[in-house]
């Protein structure tokens, strides 16, 4: 008994050969010289006339023969494709993760769709923004944002000061150097907010996606192991077309 995965395995090769055979047939019928033949003999008007050898060329390609060859090649492709498509209507499997059935009796075509979508979702989740690990975050119930603990910092102002390097004398004025001193004038209290996700949450999501990806692949393999009935459609189609 044939299995679906066996048909899938040979489908690509059968399709490739059918395309090559079809292309070759197209080329042959587009070359009139291959389809044409001729036979010519020469007879002079009298016995003394010049004798010329006969000329002939054979027909190299017969259209009916091309039709038969093309029909045989395409019949195999039609049969393989029909067998696969008919089987895909019945081949299915459950998608199960950690003993829990997420989806039941999923057809192969939908499993293939799921595989593609989950690959894209995995790439998306990997790029999700993550909270800065250098900060300590907690969830604020009032805003549903993540926030840090308040951090208090001093605001300062530069105030000019005089530094007397030498006192004034009767002959010389005082030598004074001006410098600036940072003087506290207030306090900043800062709380940072973020809509990003904790790294733990992103890792959990990635793990779920990866588990589901594995489950879908297992289900596809199980569905592709379904025993199927070989379909014979090509003979009917080409028996009508080229009869």
Please give the Cα distance from 213 to 120 (Å, whole number): 11
Assess whether 186 and 237 both reside in one domain.
Answer: no
Report the pLDDT averaged over residues 121-137: 94
Assess whether 21 and 75 both reside in one domain.
Answer: yes
Tell me if 37 is assigned to some domain.
yes
- If one counts every other C-beta atom within 10 angstroms of the C-beta of residue 54, the result is 8
Assess whether 8 and 84 both reside in one domain.
Answer: yes
Assess whether 2 and 72 both reside in one domain.
Answer: yes
Judged by DSSP in three states, 100 sits in strand
- Both structure tokens of 36: 């044409």
Domain hosting 155: range is: 150-190
* Among the ranges given (93-102, 126-135, 164-173, 183-192), the one the predictor scored with the smallest mean pLDDT: 164-173
pLDDT at 1: 66
pLDDT at 94: 95
Please give the Cα distance from 201 to 59 (Å, whole number): 75
Assess whether 1 and 69 both reside in one domain.
Answer: yes
Tell me if 36 is assigned to some domain.
yes
Tell me if 179 is assigned to some domain.
yes
pLDDT at 78: 92
pLDDT confidence tier of residue 162, bands split at 50, 70 and 90: confident
Assess whether 161 and 243 both reside in one domain.
Answer: no
Please give the Cα distance from 223 to 87 (Å, whole number): 10
pLDDT confidence tier of residue 146, bands split at 50, 70 and 90: very high
Tell me if 132 is assigned to some domain.
no
Report the pLDDT averaged over residues 230-242: 88
Per the DSSP assignment, residues forming a β-bridge with 93 are 106
Tell me if 214 is assigned to some domain.
no
- Both structure tokens of 157: 């102002």
Assess whether 9 and 72 both reside in one domain.
Answer: yes
Tell me if 32 is assigned to some domain.
yes
Phi-psi region at 144: left, alpha or beta (left = phi > 0; alpha = psi -120 to 50): left
**Continuous H helices in the chain:** 4-29, 32-35, 63-88, 108-126, 199-224, 234-241
Give the number of domains in the chain: 2
Tell me if 138 is assigned to some domain.
no
pLDDT at 149: 92
The whole-angstrom distance between residue 167's C-alpha and the CA centroid of its chain comes to 83
Assess whether 87 and 168 both reside in one domain.
Answer: no
Assess whether 74 and 155 both reside in one domain.
Answer: no
Assess whether 1 and 68 both reside in one domain.
Answer: yes
Residues 69, 86: contact at Cβ < 8 Å? no
Tell me if 165 is assigned to some domain.
yes
User: What's the predicted TM-score (pTM) here?
Assistant: 0.67
């Amino acid at each position: 008994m044939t299995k679906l995965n066996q048909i899938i395995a040979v489908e690509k090769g059968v399709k490739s050969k059918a395309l090559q055979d079809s292309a070759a047939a197209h080329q042959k019928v587009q070359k009139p010289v291959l389809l044409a033949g001729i036979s010519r003999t020469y007879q002079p008007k009298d016995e003394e006339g010049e004798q010329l050898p006969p000329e002939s060329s054979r027909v190299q390609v017969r259209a009916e023969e091309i039709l038969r060859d093309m029909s045989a090649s395409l019949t195999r492709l039609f049969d393989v494709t029909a067998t696969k498509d008919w089987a895909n209507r019945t081949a299915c499997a459950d998608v199960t993760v950690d003993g829990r059935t997420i989806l039941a009796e999923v057809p192969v075509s939908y499993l293939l769709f799921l595989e593609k979508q989950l690959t894209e979702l995995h790439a998306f989740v990997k790029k999700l923004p993550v909270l800065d690990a250098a900060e300590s975050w907690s969830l604020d119930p009032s805003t549903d944002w993540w926030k840090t603990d308040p951090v208090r910092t001093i605001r300062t102002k530069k105030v000019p000061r005089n530094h007397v390097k030498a006192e004034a004398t009767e002959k010389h004025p005082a030598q004074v150097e001006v410098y600036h001193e940072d003087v506290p004038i207030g306090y900043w209290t800062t709380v940072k907010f973020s809509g990003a996700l904790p790294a733990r949450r992103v890792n959990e999501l990635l793990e779920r996606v990866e588990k589901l990806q594995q489950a879908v692949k297992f289900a596809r393999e199980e569905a592709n192991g379904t025993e199927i009935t070989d379909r014979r459609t090509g003979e009917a189609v080409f028996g009508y077309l080229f009869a």
